[in-house]
Structure formats: structure tokens, C-alpha cells
Structure 1
Amino acid sequence: MKKSLIALAVLGFAGGAMAQSSVTLYGVADAGFGKINSPALGAAADPKIEMLGSSAMNNGTSRLGVRGVEDLGGGLQAGFNFEHGLNLENGAGNLSGGQMWSRAANLWIGGNWGTFKMGRTLNPSFYGLATWELTGAANYSVVGNTYGYTGEGPRTSNQFSYKTPNLGGFTAELGYVFKADNSDLAKWDLNAIYANGPIAAGLSVNKTKSQKTNYALGGKYNFGSFAVAASYNNANDAADLRRRGFSIGGTANLGAFALTLDLTRDTKNEWTGKKYTNGVLEGKYALSKRTFVYAAYLRFDGDNNYGIGLRHNF
């Protein structure tokens, strides 16, 4: 009898502990076919129509992730996120800057005062851009590809960051990388975001020591069945060569179907020595809340690229 009571007490305690924490397995499966002609987007020496399982013309990169969160009490939580990219052409890993879990490997703690995070993660500049970008920051985003996701790509390693709580739709995040973790060059990265009702706007700024400052400012207004967006971008490469310009575009939502046209125009381009007008035309049809088919055409620095595929989120 005593053993039964003890067992019930242990199970009750374990159940209470489990109720305060959770671990979630999630991911994306994305594959299709198309043709990539732009060398900067990974074109082959002799481009042909091929299967696309991890490319610039997929809507997103297939991935498998795990995230967890624990309620520490008093409004305090701790959590983690690990994420690994996959190539559905052959099952190989898609190493977004490193080894396994290179898409995300971080630990955080947060409460009503905000969130403090440590590790490899999407950087604040990326979140600022994703606030207003019309394709949902797809792999074929014309803004992201033309201006290098605010000049530094979407992810940062060895980053410490603080994000404010949501204050009436306004949030801000500041990230920092010590020079010992970045080839003796300290780096900071920040965003300021307002997203409330039909209005979404984001400012992204980042700077690496001894290099010029990168920034992007954009906004989007959602009318319901139609949304418009515009931005101004200034990006610098490691040699401090500059590319800057603006974007303008719109999305029409027609039930399960959505059509997006987004254009960029260079006002200065030291990367290639020539100013370009780039653009993406994207069509998506939702088969369910988690699955959609898509077709995209990307005109990038004088080359034509296209992809047709299927994406499933789980």
C-alpha cells in the first residue's frame, strides 16, 4: 500500500514537472524543379532544368528542428532551439554556415523584461527585413538576394542578444559578437520593428569593426486582399564595396491563391560595376494551412531563374 502511494506521488510530481516544460519537433519539406542561371545564386557551369531541393529557387530550405521551453515560475522561462538543414535531392545536410545544427543552435531565458539569447541564430537585421518583405523571406527574395540580407546574410554565430517585450506592437533587438569570436572584429546588429494591425515596418542596422555600416528601412501596409511594401537598402561587402537601392512591390490575396511582384533598383552598385533592376514574380496556392505549391521567376543581375515546387510545414 505504501509503495503504491509513493509511486502515485512520484507520477504526480513528474506529471507536474512535465506540464511546465515542452519539447517540439518541427520542420519544412520543400522540393521542386527549375533552372538557375545566375552564378551568384549557385548556377552550374552548364545550367539545365533540374530537381531543386536546396537552392535559391526553392521557397525555403528543408529543415528539421527541435525547440524546447521550460516554465521557471514567476513569469520566467528558459528554452533552446536546434535546427538542421536538409537537401531533399539526396538527403544530405544543408550546412548553412557550418556543421549539423548550423541553422540554429542557441539557448535563451526570458520574462516580462524581454529575452536574452546566446548562440547561433537568425540575426536581428534579418528579423527587421522579414517584417516587411513580401515573399516571407523566401530563398528567392529579390531584396534579400540583391542586398545580401542587409549585407551580412541571415545568420550570426557566437551572438549574444537582447530583445525587448512587445510594447503596443513595437519591439527592438540588439545583438553583439565579441572580436575574439569573429576574426578579431567585433560586430553589433540591431533592429527596431513596429507591427500592429495593417502596418508593419522594420529598421535593420549592423556594423563590423573597421567596415562600413549596413542598413535597411522598409514598410508594408496590408489592405486585406492586397498589400504593398517599399524599402531602402544599403549593403557593403567585406572589401567595403557598396550596393544600395530601393524596392517596391505588392501582393494580391485571392482566396487560396496569392500573387506577388517585388522589384529592386540599384542607385549605386560597386559589387558588379553596373546598376540593375531586379525582380521576382511569385505565385502560391494553398492546399491546406501547412502545404502549398509555388512558382517563382527571379530576374537577378541580368540572368533569368525559375522554380516550381511544393512546400509542407510540420
Structure 2
Amino acid sequence: MKKSLIALAVLGASSFAMAQSSVTLYGVADAGIGKIKTGAPAGNDASNSTQFLSGSLMNNGNSRLGVRGVEDLGGGLKAGFNFETGLDLDQGDALGSGGGFWGRAANLWLGGNWGTFKMGRSLNPTFYGIAAWELTGAANYSVVGNTYNFAGGGPRNNSQFSYKTPDMGGLSAEVGYVLKADNAGRAKWDLNVLYANGPIGLGFAANKTKDIKTNYVLGGKYNFSNFVLAASYTNAYNAANAQRRGFSLGGTANFGAMALTLDLTRDTKNDWTGKKYTNGLVEAKYALSKRTFVYGAYLRLDGNNNYGIGVRHNF
């Protein structure tokens, strides 16, 4: 009898704990076929031959598996975490997206009505400053992201401390900082200011690593009826302080389950390659459900032609 009472007490305590916190398993499966001349994150897919594509430049996104959790601490305060790993569906290898096994995300956060404080590896403020208006949803084949390497800073930061404000009528901001001891002796700051209200989406982002000049990007989009127009201007530097700057202009037309996108970038200065380029992306997507779509994309990037056709499923 005593054992039964103890078991019921433990079960009750566990139920109470579970009611205060939650853990979610989620992921993406994305694979297709295509040809890549240059720039694939997974080098085995950059062979300039038609082949199976996964975790590559011409996939809509990398396949991934993630877990995130949140606990209600009371008084409006919450704690949470996010761990995420990439998967190569070619042979089942892990894809770290520039990091280790949990290279896509490995962070802990505290949040409340005052905002969110996060620590660890994550997508950086500059990435979110671009995603606020970028037409493909920051796909692997984003012409803006690939032309200017997400305003020179890449999409993720290691060892980042960041603070994001609450949403204030569509206006928000985030600032991140990486200590010099965590970045080969070069401290880095990263920030964005976003505005999203009704048909308007605007984003300004900037980042700077010690001894490298400041990178920045300003972009916006406007939704009207079934069409979206977007434009941006980027000024970016690489690790050698070589400059690449230019603008983008594009649009998306939505026809029910079908969406067609054309996005172009034009360099006004390019010391990265020594030649100014006009790059372009054509993308077609068809939604099979709320979580699954097929896509086809053609990317002209710095004089090279790349294409891919695939299926993406979110779960």
C-alpha cells in the first residue's frame, strides 16, 4: 500500500513538472537532383555533374533534426534551449553547418516581457536582418546570401551572447557579441533592427570583427495582393578587408499553391573576385500540403550556372 502511494506521489510530481515545461522534436527532410558548379556547403555535391543533392547549394534547405524546450519559471520568466544537427541524405552523415555535431544550433536562453537573452551557437542578428525581407526564406540558394555571404559575416556565430527586445508594434532589435578569446583574438559584434507590420517588412543589419571593416545591409519588401517586391543594398568585407558591395531587386508572384520568384543582385564594387557580376535566381515552389513542397531553382552565381529540383518536408 505504501509503495502504491509513493508511486502515485511520484507520478503526480512528474505530471506537475511536465505541465510547467515542454520539449519538442522537429526537423526537415530535403533532397533532390541537380548540378552544382561552385559554392556547395557539402563539397561532394560541387562536381559540375548531375547527381543526388542533399545539404548542398541547390537544396532549398539542409535536412536537420532538432530538439527545443521551454520551462515556465513563473512571474513571466521562461528558460529554454535549442540543439540542432544537420543531416546529409546522400549517406546519412552529419552536417555541422560550419560547426560540430550540433553545428546548426546549440544554445540556452532566458526570456520574459523584457526580451530574450541567449548564449551559445546560433543564427546571428545579421541573418535575421536579411531573412526579414529575403524572398526565398533564406534558402540555401538565396542569391543575396550567396553573393554577399550574409553581409560578410556568415549566417551563424559561435559563443555568442545576444539580447533581443520584445516586439513593439512590429519594431524589434537584436544585438550579439562574441568575446575575442572565443574568436581567435578578434571580438565581434552583430546587430539588427527589424520592422514588420502589415504588408511592410524592413531590416537593417550590421556586424564587425576586430581588424575588419564594418559590414552592413539594408533591405525591405512590400506585399500587395498576390505579389511581393523586395530590394536591398549590401556593403561587405571579407577577412582580408576586400570589399564587395551592391544591390538586389526581385519579386514573388503567388498563384494559389504555386509561387514563382525572380531575384537579382548587381555589384557596384567587387574586390572579392576582381570582377563585377550580375547574379540571378529563378525559383518555383508548389505546396503539396502545409508542411511539404516541391521546388525547382536555377542560380547564376559569379558566372557559374547551378540548378536543382527537390522536395522539402517539415516535421
TM-score, with structure 2 as normaliser: 0.97
CA spacing shift, 1:59–1:44, aligned 2, 3 Å: closer
CA spacing shift, 1:39–1:176, aligned 2, 3 Å: closer
Tell me which residue corresponds to 2:128: 127
1:11 aligns with 2:20: no
Distance 2:46 2:307 in 1: 17
Percent of aligned pairs sharing the same letter: 73
For structure 2, the residue ranges without an aligned partner over 5 or more in a row are none
Tell me which residue corresponds to 1:292: 293
Distance 1:218 1:39 in 2: 24
- Aligned-pair distance for 1:16? 1.6
Distance 2:223 2:236 in 1: 27
User: SS of the residue aligned with 2:296?
Assistant: strand
Distance 1:223 1:308 in 2: 28
Q: Is the 8 A contact 1:37 1:43 kept in 2?
A: no
CA spacing shift, 1:141–1:234, aligned 2, 3 Å: same
Q: Deviations over 1:245-294 (max 9, x none)?
A: 00000000100000000000000000111111001000000000000000
CA spacing shift, 1:39–1:222, aligned 2, 3 Å: closer
- Aligned-pair distance for 1:40? 7.1
Tell me which residue corresponds to 1:35: 35
Tell me which residue corresponds to 1:77: 78
- Aligned-pair distance for 1:13? 2.6
Tell me which residue corresponds to 2:268: 267
CA spacing shift, 1:216–1:166, aligned 2, 3 Å: same
- Aligned-pair distance for 1:9? 3.7
Residues paired across the two proteins, number? 314
CA spacing shift, 1:289–1:3, aligned 2, 3 Å: same
Q: Is the 8 A contact 2:236 2:245 kept in 1?
A: yes
Q: Deviations over 1:92-130 (max 9, x none)?
A: 111211220011100000000000000000000000000
Tell me which residue corresponds to 1:199: 200
Distance 2:224 2:280 in 1: 22
What do you get for the CA RMSD once the two structures are aligned? 1.5
1:172 aligns with 2:170: no
Distance 1:4 1:273 in 2: 77
User: SS of the residue aligned with 2:231?
Assistant: strand
Q: Is the 8 A contact 1:66 1:82 kept in 2?
A: yes
Distance 2:2 2:59 in 1: 61
Q: Deviations over 1:190-222 (max 9, x none)?
A: 000001111110001000011100000000111
User: SS of the residue aligned with 1:175?
Assistant: strand
**Paired amino acid for 1:57:** M
Distance 2:202 2:127 in 1: 13
Q: Is the 8 A contact 1:52 1:89 kept in 2?
A: yes
Distance 1:292 1:39 in 2: 24
Tell me which residue corresponds to 1:217: 218
- Aligned-pair distance for 1:38? 2.6
Q: Is the 8 A contact 2:124 2:155 kept in 1?
A: yes
Tell me which residue corresponds to 2:21: 21
Distance 1:138 1:130 in 2: 9
Tell me which residue corresponds to 1:283: 284
CA spacing shift, 1:25–1:45, aligned 2, 3 Å: closer
Distance 1:202 1:16 in 2: 41
User: SS of the residue aligned with 2:101?
Assistant: coil
CA spacing shift, 1:39–1:228, aligned 2, 3 Å: closer
Distance 2:93 2:10 in 1: 43
- Aligned-pair distance for 1:224? 3.1
Distance 1:287 1:44 in 2: 27
Q: Is the 8 A contact 1:36 1:43 kept in 2?
A: no
**Paired amino acid for 2:55:** S
- Aligned-pair distance for 1:17? 1.2
User: SS of the residue aligned with 1:31?
Assistant: strand
Q: Is the 8 A contact 2:229 2:251 kept in 1?
A: yes
Distance 2:286 2:32 in 1: 15
1:89 aligns with 2:79: no
